[in-house]
Chains A and B, each alone.
Chain A
């Protein structure tokens, strides 16, 4: 039928233009290309120069892929740039909302004495380490200055249940204020669950408070990591978990784990313990280099490489679980996959650019000091007050949010301008972490070739991409993880 033209008639005679992208060697034979909205494409090494030299022709199998993923476009096309702009706005949409997460450190007192803990105190002296109503009022003034339509208040410690009176006070006051401010208001208590009472649970139920707890693994490991009088931390956790689920709802209690050197050989047992206790997900986390973790050298007891081995083994096991029909999610992978496979950004504070410190989350310490992050106040407990942004009694909202301590940290670590980040192909999946790099390298930018943060994340990015490429079933699974929020 001559009235129809063939495919070749629709091939453009014009040369394509390059849209902004970055590239890195993925392995000996391949390059990975990424763009600012997280699209990625892998090509054989020798093709890189052809692409950049505008010599790739439309009959090449990669041409259509690069065009559809907005790495190249034809001069007369408008849609690619419009879509790129749309996707970039979507990725960054969260920034305009500003601070969502507000952490209230209501006490430093704790019934546990975990060797890796940064801040806890075994003190009976209430006055010394508890937040007062006066400080809480000032903190709430600050919270409702945030333009964010969603506000989450998280109670931290120490063990917040040791100062439950102030928790109640903050919740009731915040709800009262919110009648006027009308935000999407949520509360979380980070607790070991060991001190739960019926009265506490009733209050949590009435105010829709979610509990975030800690589970390091099987009983022996958990009790080793998290000592308390009676050596029954694990038993207390399980009892608390049952009671809390019954009172608040099954999905209203979550758990976080911390990896110590003792955890390293037991990743399967740790995952199994989460499974056994009815959790559907786990966050395989490395120890943070703060507080007592540094003092007690716990943090130094394994390096990034050993941790990665632990992580990969855990992830493999979790993938196998899913393949055999048990749905279970590794949360860190899930956060990164959202960046890789969807147009949205999960807004995870440790992987944000600009850094989430102070602007995605902010910390009010028991004594009224304001910190850029939980890690910042832990550093301060060790005497390093670099990220102390001000004090609720002494400084205004503007003084704190516009403080040099915060703005310098954000501006100077912006990954699109930082050396070795700005041209890194994995930058779209990564983030700035000024507090970590300051703590380790005494420099907010840090030295990337030595950075364990960099080493860990780069390895995970590559690992996730490798897994997806080698197994279509894993790709399907990862797509589900990526879209879970």
Chain B
């Protein structure tokens, strides 16, 4: 698992550049006029002049005296050695200095947290919400987006519930469209804000060519859905939100996290979707992530994927036969039936992806999505069976 933020070891000769959001360069020959707004990642003793700030890994701290000009630099732990050209980080001199990696150019899974506020309190929330004013995050995103490389294939917006930021969130989406016109946008939202047709219309008016909202539905039974998300009336609003978005021709994905509660009516939910929401663009069935609230609610949530594999096959069969675009995410290859294969996706974000000890020697590890690192740490199926080479 990659470390995305924490303390720095030393800030040398602080000049103020250390409190900005800056994109990283490793390009020795970058034109001088472009250097002043970038942060140079020191790799060897050949260090070009003119950059706003310099980043040095702890193991290379001996190079610090070689920093030219002002000598404004920061030394970070070696865990950040994955940082590369085009990445965007925020350095702060606050409380001895810390670093946060906001964007990784080499990753296909860049996800931007919009707010930690949420009007759900899901039993299995991996990012437990906080009821605090965190609008500073919005300022940060507005600075971040112009720095993201234009050839980025996709970025995600997540939360909390991003739409709670209202018009400011829409402004960020418009910003993304103008700075990154060819970048696909994926938004994780509970969809309830779109129940307000005026909000849905403003969203649609952004006219982004490739933007999708991923919205969770955990049951066809409103009571069960409301219980899972711990919010009364949520199901009714979410459904209306989906209808409004699709009426405005916006892309919508339905996301179903599978656990002990949602598995109860997964087949019925699939029938409900095929019958009522056939027009959504994608249905994603996802394994449980052992993060945040899940760990405390494990008794209510955990079910071994091995035990629900036939139900998963039924659900995927219903959706697939109805002609829907279906994907199965976050599942291990040896725990799903072969009929899942056409829908199986290797999906876990690279920085969270690992394999179990039992997987050693498995001949299909390359095809397998593996585990969330949290899964390896906090529990996974007792039925892993490595595939043997034929």
Contacts and interface: CB of A to CB of B under 8 A. Distances in A.
Interface of A: 1, 3-7, 9-12, 39, 58, 64-65, 67-68, 74, 76-79, 82-83, 86-87, 342-343, 476, 479-480, 483
Contact of B223 (A1, A7, A65, A342): A7
A64 B230 contact: no
A67 B221 contact: yes
Interface stretch (B4-12, B316-324, B340-348): B316-324
B235 A64 contact: no
Nearest to B235: A79
Nearest to B221: A64
Interface in B226-285: 226-227, 230, 232-233, 235-236, 239-240, 243, 265, 268, 272, 274-276, 278
A479 B243 contact: no
A342 B277 CA distance: 11
22 contacts: A4-B123, A4-B293, A5-B227, A6-B227, A7-B224, A10-B223, A10-B226, A10-B232, A11-B223, A67-B221, A68-B268, A78-B240, A79-B235, A82-B239, A86-B243, A342-B322, A343-B275, A479-B317, A479-B318, A479-B321, A479-B322, A483-B321
Contact of A4 (B121, B274, B278): B121
B276 A343 contact: yes
Interface in B81-121: 121
Q: Counting chain B CB atoms within 10 Å of each CB, which of A65, A76, A79 scores highest?
A: A79
A11 B226 CA distance: 9
A7 B225 CA distance: 10
Given A342-B322, A483-B323, 5 more contacts: A5-B227, A77-B222, A476-B317, A479-B318, A483-B321
Nearest to A85: B243
B236 A79 contact: yes
A343 B297 CA distance: 37
Contact of B239 (A4, A83, A343, A480): A83
Q: Counting chain B CB atoms within 10 Å of each CB, which of A68, A76, A476, A479 scores highest?
A: A68
B223 A58 contact: yes
A342 B274 contact: yes
A86 B296 CA distance: 40
Interface string B121-135: 101000000000000
Contacts, number: 76
Contacts of B276: 83, 86-87, 343
Contacts of B236: 76-79
B296 A1 contact: yes
A10 B261 CA distance: 14
Contacts of A39: 275
Contact of B321 (A1, A343, A476): A476
The 5 closest A-B pairs by CB, nearest first: A64-B221, A79-B239, A68-B220, A10-B226, A10-B227
Contacts of B222: 67, 74, 77
A82 B244 CA distance: 11
A3 B226 CA distance: 15
Interface residues of B, number: 32
A11 B321 CA distance: 33
Contacts of A65: 268
A82 B240 CA distance: 8
Nearest to B128: A3
Nearest to A1: B296
A343 B278 contact: yes
B318 A87 contact: no
A1 B297 contact: yes
A39 B274 CA distance: 12
Nearest to B323: A483
A417 B32 CA distance: 82
Interface of B: 121, 123, 220-224, 226-227, 230, 232-233, 235-236, 239-240, 243, 265, 268, 272, 274-276, 278, 293, 296-297, 317-318, 321-323
B230 A4 contact: yes
Contacts of B224: 7, 10, 64
Contacts of A4: 121, 123, 230, 293, 297
A64 B296 contact: no
Contacts of B322: 342, 479, 483
A86 B277 CA distance: 10
A65 B275 CA distance: 13
A219 to B, nearest CB: 37
Q: Counting chain A CB atoms within 10 Å of each CB, which of B221, B265, B317 scores highest?
A: B221
B296 A79 contact: no
A68 B321 contact: no
Contacts of A78: 236, 240
Contacts of A77: 222, 236
A83 to B, nearest CB: 5
A139 to B, nearest CB: 36
A480 B323 CA distance: 10
Contacts of B275: 39, 87, 342-343
Given A7-B223, A64-B220, A480 B321 contact: yes
Contacts of B323: 483
Contacts of B123: 4
Contacts of A342: 274-275, 278, 322
A1 B292 CA distance: 13
Contact of A79 (B240, B265, B297, B317): B240
A3 B223 CA distance: 18
A238 to B, nearest CB: 34
Contacts of A9: 227
Nearest to B269: A68
Contacts of A86: 243, 276
Nearest to B246: A86
Nearest to A5: B230
Nearest to A3: B121
B324 to A, nearest CB: 10
Contacts of A76: 233, 236
A275 to B, nearest CB: 23
B236 to A, nearest CB: 5
A479 B220 CA distance: 19
A91 to B, nearest CB: 11
Nearest to A485: B323
Contacts of A64: 220-221, 223-224, 265, 268
A68 B323 CA distance: 21
B243 A82 contact: yes
Nearest to A90: B278
Contacts of B230: 4-5
A485 to B, nearest CB: 10
B88 to A, nearest CB: 35
Nearest to A472: B314
A465 to B, nearest CB: 15
Contacts of A11: 223
A471 to B, nearest CB: 14
A346 to B, nearest CB: 14
